[in-house]
Amino acid sequence: MSEATDPIHVIYKLKKTMQNVLDGLVQTLANGGIDSMDEYKYIIGKIHAIDLMNQELSNLLEPKEPDNDDDNITRIRR
């Protein structure tokens, strides 16, 4: 499987692109490049959406639950 079609590579590349977009939006807010409240709300919405997607992609890359639960079960009764 080539690097371009490897799903893990695609996710990392997507995360990097989203981080660059996020940095640009935050920079726009920090520099006062907003002309109206509607534009402010739009940019905040984009930041929120990118943050949610980043979190979901991170969750896909680092699962919190183990694949095999049988090894981690503590038996209380015999």
pLDDT digits (tens, 9 = 90+) for 8-67: 889 999 999 999 999 999 999 999 989 999 999 999 999 999 999 999 999 888 866 655
Name which residue leads in pLDDT, 53 or 77. 53
Amino acid at the residue 13: K
51 in a structural domain? yes
Domain residue limits at 37: 7-61
pLDDT value at position 46? 97
Q: How far is 11 from 52, CA to CA, in rounded Å?
A: 14
Q: Residue 71 has what pLDDT? A: 61
Helix ranges restricted to H, the chain:
7-30, 37-61
Domains contained in the chain, number = 1
CB neighbourhood size of 23 (10 A) = 10
Flag whether 72 is in a domain: no
Does some domain include residue 26? yes
pTM metric for this prediction: 0.70
